[in-house]
Amino acid sequence: GAIKISIRSYSANTGLNKPPKILITGGLGQLGVECAKHLRGKYGKDNVILSDIIKPSTEIFNDGPYIFADILDFKGLQKIVVDHRVDWLIHFSALLSAIGEQNVPLAVRVNIEGMHNVIELAKQYNLRIFVPSTIGAFGPDSPRNPTPNITVQRPRTIYGVSKVHAELLGEYYHYKFGLDFRCLRFPGVISSDPPGGGTTDYAIAIFHDVLRKGHYECYLKPDTRLPMMHVRDALRALSEYLEAPNEMLQRRVYNVTSMSFTPEELADEMFKYLPDFTLSYKPDSRQDIADSWPQVFDDSEARRDWNWKPEIDMDNLVKLMLKEVKEKII
């Protein structure tokens, strides 16, 4: 009885008669480790394979399957899909917005050529494929408050250009070949894992610096409003969307968000729990990037089509981050 019930529920949510075998690329970036934890809790430890070109810590290595995968090596990827009988691919490998501007050729290779490889791979082996997009896929001509699901994009960073390319390529493969491509445009994702070259990362760095040094120098102006979400909401959005039956989806690319705030508003919320830190502002080139991005993200289509609903508001985000970052730096 129990086994039958679980098989039935797998097939209702995943289209498979067993838990899906999932490969995560770029597994040691901001989202990979937490994502693997989340999905292993759902589908079983051995069904979620984390991969990257980086040597993992002992802790990550012992936590579940971890393998080498270079997204620029097509044959290597084919071998992994065959050997591990992969069903779903979660493609996290990418250079983020600020770091991409410092190394455009590398961003083109990783973000664009890498995408060409994984999309062909997904087509060849009939994989469901998830690729994150971002508020960075919009630009100075886009409406910024609110930014709807469908509007002008025209980003001015290589990161944004590569993400628009990924969105369009995925949609094209879906309509042309029936590929089960799924993409969420995330706002700044806030987690206790250290930031990696983004524009929204101030909202992570501020917790680390304030807890360690009692001071944070912010590279954005105090009134720079950007959409944000806690990593727990981001991963719940990802897994709910991955499990949504195809019939529910009107699109392959959806905006999702939880809140919007400025550095000043975030600091004010933090002062409630931590009255003693100081803050200074020294805007740099990341200010120009932030000024071209959405301020408030309209995710009403995700709410309508597959019942997306954020759970973590700003107060909870600050409480969670203070607790999680404290645990990491002790």
Q: Which residues carry out catalysis?
A: 159
Q: Give me the amino acid identity at 103.
A: N
Q: What's the closest the beta carbon of residue 19 comes to ligand AKB, in angstroms?
A: 29
Name the site residues for ligand AKB (rule: CB under 6 A).
96-97, 134-136, 159, 188, 198-200
Cα gap 126→35, rounded to integer Å? 22
Q: What's the closest the beta carbon of residue 162 comes to ligand AKB, in angstroms?
A: 11
In which region does residue 64 sit, left (phi positive, over 0), alpha (psi from -120 to 50) or beta (all else)? left
- Residue 49 or 290: the one with the smaller Cβ distance to ligand AKB is 290
13: part of which helix (H) or strand (E)? helix 2-14
Number of neighbouring beta carbons within 10 Å of residue 302: 24
Q: What's the closest the beta carbon of residue 96 comes to ligand AKB, in angstroms?
A: 4
- Residue 134 or 239: the one with the smaller Cβ distance to ligand AKB is 134
- Residue 40 or 182: the one with the smaller Cβ distance to ligand AKB is 182
Residue 310 near residue 187 (C-beta atoms within 8 A)? no
Residue nearest to ligand AKB (CB): 198
Cα gap 61→76, rounded to integer Å? 20
Q: What's the closest the beta carbon of residue 196 comes to ligand AKB, in angstroms?
A: 9
What six digits make up the tokens of 143?
């409406």
Q: What's the closest the beta carbon of residue 199 comes to ligand AKB, in angstroms?
A: 4
Nearest to 23 by CA among 58, 57, 63, 52: 52
- Residue 20 or 198: the one with the smaller Cβ distance to ligand AKB is 198
- Give the CA-trace dihedral at 243, 245, 249, 255, to 10 degrees: -10
Task: Write down the residue that tokens 């086994």 correspond to.
Answer: 3
